[in-house]
Amino acid sequence: MLEKELWTIKYAPKKESDIVGNPNAVKVIKEFLTKWSSKNEIKALLLLGPPGCGKTSSTNVLAKLNRFDVIEINASDVRNKKSIEEKLIPSLATRTIKKGVNKLYLIDEVDGLSGNQDRGGLSAMLKMVKLSKFPIIFTANNVHDKKFRSLRDKRSGIKIVKFQKIKNPTIVKVLQKICIAEKIQADPKALTEIAINVNNDLRSAINDLQAVCEGKKKLTLSDVRKIQQVRDTEKNIFEVLNIIFKNKDIQTCNRAVSMLDIDWGLLLHWVNEILPYHKVSSRTLFKSYKALSKADLIYNAIASNPEKISWSMLPYFIDIISSGVSLPIKNENKSHFVQYFRYSPSNFLNKMYASRSGELMNIVNKIRKKLKSSPEEIITKHLPFIALILKKRSPQSEYLKKFYELDRREITFIKNII
Amino acid sequence: MHDLYGTTYKANIEEIFASDSKNFYYEYMPYWVEASKISLKRHGKSKSPSRIDILFTIIRNYPKTKTLDSADHKILIIYEADKLERIIQQALRRTMEKYSRICRFILVANSVSNIIDPIRSRCVNLKLFPLSQKQFLSKIKYICESEEINITENALKLIYYYSNNDMNIAINILEAASCYKKKITENFIYEMIKKLEIKEIGECLKLAISGNIVDARNFLRNLFIKKSLSGKMILKAFNKFLMESTITEELKKKISIEISKFDSYISVPSNNELQLSFFLTYLATLGIKD
């Protein structure tokens, strides 16, 4: 018999003592709710943390205990500027009918705001915080996102609460409790295996447990092993970088890279970005870059021509980028901690480069209407000299401007070249 | 060509550059884009034509139509023919024969090795040699006279050496110099050349040699973004700077071999910034003290 209710909902915390992990964060939320008045300086909380660490569920429990009605808005709702201004902001003025019960807005998964569909959603939410007479709680996973700069601003009246990952022993304890309640005889080793697999995510641990225990009253290690192959947890890029540059075991590095669920090019960018920051001798750095350059060549060979060069080259790429790049560094130095920072600057850089080169090509095409030569020749042999002429005010430069039909923006662009 | 055709030049001559991007055709040769759209539709495809589609259409259709204004032949000039893809060269080979009564072809290329044999055998191969110093200088002198520019003999020689036998560069620098001063001397040309040099190159290389890769890379990125240089141009400038610097001959030889390797890395599809950072780390390993 399939069970109707998901265990994650069935065994969600109901009392404050049910909440596991993150005691400090829970305390902050409790204080925020108990001492709530609309004149408070802090009007909203932003809960940051990885999935399955109890952000939403602890909010729900604490709200219930403190007599708040939770109005939840999550990623399945359209959250653009218009819908927030039309639906949510008017509701800020009203009160619940129930006596002594206050309202609490829970805006889930703020980082799920999509760029196109939810245009202007974030700024509308900030406006909502300012107007609100009720407490608002945001939750988000990705701490590094650029989007949250405005939310992080102190003047916005939002306090940030960080949730940590839940440790494995705690997850095992929760699983044991559920097993007792469901009358399942569980092997402790099996539960530990589940906990290790899920990468500190309590929600998916409970889901896994339910999947394994479906229609059974006994749980063994081999049952768990079966499902392990199905769920390969997607790894954060920072974790992978951490493993690449710190773990001495090549197998582990390889596994981490091949499990990574992002574009390989982005990984390449990131390794390139942080490699020079390692404090090692130049000889070692050279060796590392040698491997990285090879990896880049392989990657581009695959990416540029997927039909001719088969994907069979991908394993070499993974080998090189996972161990070849970092091995010289590991051999030389044992403690070489490098802080990973800044969100994806290399990506941003590429975009800027592309827009600039687009502008350059426009100018080159304009000049080519008059001059018969190839784009490359124009850039190397003509543009610098045109820039020189344009810099000096003379009849010749006036003539050139007219001749090539350049507007003011293009002229400043050309002048900047030299 | 102008002498031959006179007023019917535009009607009977078409010029294409092999390395042109798709956008160029969309903007400046919309008639060929329309034509290739029609020919694609005839084959039951309704996508927007790519660069290769457009080139195909030009090569297939241009020679088929009649000459205008009772000219004897039409002419299709293809610059940078060595950069044409193999499939297009194959298409060209067929039309060159078939419609030679109406249309003649002129292919311009830097090297003959990238042009397939069947095309080479259908063409008369003319090899153009670089100008000798005497011819070169006499041409520049002719320009100076007709533009009434006062220039010294040494300045002329300097222009010749700087331009590396390239008339484009020589005329350009002459024009630029004439904007600033009426009388051009050797020293003034030196100043102009210095202005054209990219200062970041030197600083970037010095930082790399001293082992500060992080800062050197920032300079490198500046070159990419602010100066909008391509990887090849930057490597060329690196090469020039290093060959003119004061390091030993032995090292120069070593570096130039290495640079040729990096050039090959950049020529194939790759992340140019990453490859050039690799080059910077290579410089750091040499341990030059300067």
| Model confidence pLDDT, tens digit, residues A328-347 | 877 776 555 555 444 444 44
User: For B166-187, what is each residue's pLDDT tens digit?
Assistant: 888 888 888 888 888 778 888 8
CB < 8 Å to A286, chain B: 278, 281-282, 284-285
**Do the Cβ atoms of B270 and A356 come within 8 Å?**
no
B57 and B77 belong to one structural domain = yes
User: For B101-137, what is each residue's pLDDT tens digit?
Assistant: 788 888 988 888 888 888 888 887 778 888 888 888 8
Total beta-carbon pairs less than 8 A apart between chain A and chain B: 128
Query: Residue A320 to residues A227, A292, A313, B33, B267: CA-CA distances in angstroms?
Result: 30, 7, 11, 44, 22
CA count, 13 A, side-chain hemisphere, B213? 28
The answer to whether residue A230 scores a pLDDT higher than 50 is no
B208 and B101 belong to one structural domain = no
DSSP type of residue A146: G
**B163 touching chain A per CB within 8 A:** no
Query: Which residue on chain B is closest to A290 by alpha carbon?
Result: B278
User: For A266-281, what is each residue's pLDDT tens digit?
Assistant: 778 778 877 887 777 8
B250 and B223 belong to one structural domain = yes
pLDDT band at A88 (very low <50, low <70, confident <90, very high): confident
Bridge partner residues of B74 (DSSP)? B103
Number of domains in chain B: 3
The encoded tokens of residue B178 equal: 């004439």
| Closest chain A C-alpha to B149 CA, distance in angstroms | 13
Of A365, A394, A416, the CB nearest to B24: A365
Q: To the nearest whole number, what is the mean pLDDT of chain A?
A: 76
Would B128 be classed as within a structural domain? no
Mutation to test the B interface, candidates A285, A378, A379, most B Cβ within 10 Å: A285
Q: To the nearest whole number, what is the mean pLDDT of chain B?
A: 82
Among the three residues B146, B173, B196, which one is the final residue of a domain in this structure? Answer: B196
pLDDT reported for residue B228: 67
B42 and B112 belong to one structural domain = yes
Single out the residue of B228, B218, B254 nearest to residue B239, CA to CA: B254
Share of chain B above pLDDT 70, in %: 98
- Separation of alpha carbons B114 and B60, rounded Å: 21
**A370 touching chain B per CB within 8 A:** no
Mutation to test the A interface, candidates B271, B277, B280, B283, most A Cβ within 10 Å: B271
Would B83 be classed as within a structural domain? yes
CATH code of the domain containing B118:
3.40.50.300
pLDDT reported for residue A309: 60
Cβ neighbours around B107 below 10 Å, total: 23
The answer to whether residue A359 scores a pLDDT higher than 60 is yes
Most confident of A123-132, A163-172, A247-256: A163-172
The encoded tokens of residue A207 equal: 């889901």
B210 and B263 belong to one structural domain = yes
B148 and B107 belong to one structural domain = no
pLDDT reported for residue A336: 53
Would B127 be classed as within a structural domain? no
Of A272, A286, A365, the CB nearest to B282: A286
Share of chain A above pLDDT 70, in %: 79
pLDDT band at A113 (very low <50, low <70, confident <90, very high): low
Among the three residues B102, B122, B142, which one is the final residue of a domain in this structure? Answer: B122
pLDDT reported for residue A343: 42
CB < 8 Å to A283, chain B: 285
User: For A33-74, what is each residue's pLDDT tens digit?
Assistant: 888 877 777 888 888 887 778 888 888 888 888 888 888 776
B102 and B150 belong to one structural domain = no
B232 and B164 belong to one structural domain = no
Q: Is the four-CA dihedral A4, A7, A8, A13 of positive or negative sign?
A: positive
Among the three residues B152, B170, B196, which one is the final residue of a domain in this structure? Answer: B196
Of A300, A369, A379, the CB nearest to B28: A369
- Separation of alpha carbons B60 and B94, rounded Å: 9
DSSP type of residue A142: -
User: Residue B249's domain spans which residues?
Assistant: 199-286
B242 and B145 belong to one structural domain = no
| Closest chain A C-alpha to B40 CA, distance in angstroms | 23
Mutation to test the B interface, candidates A388, A394, A414, most B Cβ within 10 Å: A388
The answer to whether residue B189 scores a pLDDT higher than 80 is yes
Higher-scoring residue by pLDDT: B200, B217: B217
DSSP B236-270: HHHHHHHHHSSS-HHHHHHHHHHHHHHHHHHHSS-
**Do the Cβ atoms of A286 and B285 come within 8 Å?**
yes
Would B217 be classed as within a structural domain? yes
pLDDT reported for residue A231: 47
pLDDT band at A1 (very low <50, low <70, confident <90, very high): very low
- Separation of alpha carbons B32 and B15, rounded Å: 12
